[in-house]
Chain A
Amino acid sequence: MEELGIFVIFFASIFTSNILLTNFLGMCSYLSVSRELKTAWGLGIAVVFVMTVTSVANYFVYYHLLVPLNLEYLQYIAFIVVIAALVQLVEMIVDRVSDRLYAALGIFLPLITVNCAILGSSLFLVIRKYDLVQSLAFGFGSGLGWLLAIMALAGIRSKMARRSKVIPALEGPGIVLIITGIIALGFIGFSGMVQIN
């Protein structure tokens, strides 16, 4: 396989291999925090930030700690520990630095600790053998892709809440999953452009 440019990885992780719409990771918070655009934006930005930071941190943990010690099989537990600690640190920093930022973003950080998209992105960069810069581009791009997906859904949901009558059997997660499926089908249209898997 030829070496992928970082821009290809970046755009592919947003569109053709969107972590949510093609890998279905990070669904829980996607479904529960997508009622309003404002909160979806807050959570989405928090995901972008945490995903970028943890991808880089876990790159170092994997290649500079686990690989030299032949402990690759411990990647799951190591990644989770790193993610949890980093999220807590970031929350404290945000809390200290800016109340406004804390109200808009910090409050969502604990929710993200258990978001599987974050762990997923760290695991993908190992599976796909990215180098440091590629990992950075991939983490940042995947975060943006997740943000794009939740904003699209939140936009549709808030419009739907005002105008549409949903049949009772499909109310709540039912119709949301159907909408997500249709958006995902739309995103498959991009996949002809580039494949990073």
Chain B
Amino acid sequence: MVNVFSIPAFSLAGVSGFLVPALSIASLATFLAVLILIAERYLMDYGEVDLQVNDKTFKVKGGNTLLNTLKEQKVFIPSACGGRATCAYCKVKALSGFPEILPTETPLLTKEEIKDNVRLSCQIKVKTASAIQIPEELFNIREYTATCESIVDLTYDIRLFRFQLIEPPHIEYKAGQYIQFQSPEYGDVSESVYRAYSMCGDCKDKDQIELMVRRVPEGIATTYMFDHLRVGEQVVFTGPFGDFYLRDTDRRMICVAGGSGMAPIRSIMLDMTSEQIEKRKPIFFFGARAKRDLFMVDEWREMEERNKGLTFVPALSSPEPDDDWDGETGRVTEVIPRYVEDLSDCEGYLCGSPGLLNACVDLLISLGIPEERIYYDKFE
């Protein structure tokens, strides 16, 4: 015979046998969490402090890392590792208000930088009135939202994307600079990543930007842009970054690019006035494998007609038999010497893969351009 009274008693014991351990661990954890929250509230509260950046002074909430504090003030310091002290992009010069260098910083700073008070802004915290110095152009860096306005196939693997800015509605940049495009989470990709792309449009069009992007097999950001991004959708990017832009001199220009490396060169050329072009006589060598990798040739021919002095030289390294190619054949490094001899009065502007760039830098130096006058944007 079943004792009916034993059933509720049994289940009660079962429930309490489960509840007591769960509850006690939960309450222990809660107690400690509350303790930490209280400590955070009172210990980490440094009140409002003055942070001087170059000649501007911000009133900021103390206690956060310099990198995040600056981000809240809309000053974007380049950073790729998310504050884990591995990328060393977020270096700034600390003038006052920061204690001695931390063991997490020393491996990433050179002796000269340590002597110069250069610090990693992701490691040091703003606790008292402090002053730092950053390159003036970093003030110009913003986070932009924009709408994708058009997507055009340039070749089978390179596309031209045009984005209309929403907020802020205008961007100031130097032709040749790049932005960091934020690829959101999509499909199976559960992380948001930033990738750098050079702007290829005319920087006088301040309400839009254009990017020339080559599809990277298995690339997180380019797969998003090629397979998921649709016209009309919103994107986020930060910028402008980079020191690849036209130097203000009267020297002749030798430009070399391959693939989507055309982007900053196009931007620079669109920004130059016809007087500038006539004076500086730019020659643009553009390297491609075969005709199917070649694009915008008509646009460059048109530019040549409009501007006296500009020469566009597309070169195919291995044209297909049915390409019907009557232009230059061979690698860019073979083609350049056919056009120019002494380059000692020139400036070099190069953009493309590391392989192309290294070969071209060596060639241009051997043709007489001093190394410090060769500017390049390496795709890595």
Contact = CB atoms under 8 A, between A and B. Distances in A.
Interface of A: 39, 42, 61, 65-66, 69, 71, 74, 77-78, 81-82, 85, 88-89, 92-93, 95-96, 99-100, 102-103, 107-108
Given A85-B33, A85-B35, A100 B99 contact: yes
Interface in B7-29: 20-21, 24-25, 28-29
B324 to A, nearest CB: 57
Contacts of B104: 107
Interface of B: 20-21, 24-25, 28-29, 32-33, 35-36, 39-40, 43-44, 99-104, 125, 127
Q: Taking each of A42, A69, A89, A93, which has the highest tally of chain B beta carbons within 10 Å of its own beta carbon?
A: A89
Given A69-B20, A103-B100, A107-B104, A96 B43 contact: yes
11 contacts: A61-B28, A65-B28, A81-B25, A81-B32, A89-B35, A95-B43, A95-B125, A99-B99, A99-B100, A103-B102, A107-B103
A85 B44 CA distance: 16
B129 to A, nearest CB: 14
Contacts of B100: 99-100, 103
Contact of A82 (B21, B32, B102, B127): B32
B32 A85 contact: yes
Contacts of B127: 99
Nearest to B99: A99
B39 A92 contact: yes
A100 B36 CA distance: 23
A160 B29 CA distance: 45
A103 B99 contact: yes
Contacts of A81: 25, 28-29, 32
Contact of B25 (A42, A78, A95, A100): A78
A65 B31 CA distance: 13
Contact of A89 (B29, B36, B101, B102): B36
Nearest to A73: B21
A107 B105 CA distance: 11
A100 B100 CA distance: 7
A81 to B, nearest CB: 5
B99 A93 contact: no
B25 A77 contact: yes
A42 B99 CA distance: 17
Nearest to A61: B28
Contact of A103 (B24, B35, B103): B103
Contact of A74 (B21, B33, B101): B21
Contacts of A66: 24
A103 B39 CA distance: 20
Contacts of A99: 99-100, 127
B28 A92 contact: no
Contact of B36 (A39, A65, A88, A96): A88
B358 to A, nearest CB: 30
A93 B28 contact: no
Contacts of A85: 32-33, 35-36
Contacts of A89: 35-36, 39
A51 B29 CA distance: 20
A103 B36 CA distance: 21
A92 B40 contact: yes
- 10 tightest A-B CB contacts, nearest first: A99-B99, A85-B32, A96-B43, A92-B43, A103-B102, A92-B39, A71-B21, A103-B100, A81-B29, A107-B102
A39 B103 CA distance: 8
Contacts of B43: 92-93, 95-96
A192 B33 CA distance: 45
Nearest to A85: B32
A82 B28 contact: yes
Contacts of B99: 99-100, 102-103
A69 B28 CA distance: 13
B177 to A, nearest CB: 36
A96 B21 CA distance: 36
A60 B39 CA distance: 21
Contacts of A96: 43-44
Given A42-B103, A103-B99, A93 B39 contact: yes
Contacts of B39: 89, 92-93
Given A78-B25, A107-B102, 13 more contacts: A61-B28, A65-B24, A69-B24, A74-B24, A74-B25, A81-B25, A82-B28, A92-B39, A93-B43, A96-B43, A99-B127, A103-B103, A107-B103
Contacts of B29: 81
Nearest to A33: B103
B86 to A, nearest CB: 15
Contacts of B101: 103
Nearest to B125: A95
Contacts of A95: 43-44, 125
A71 B24 contact: yes
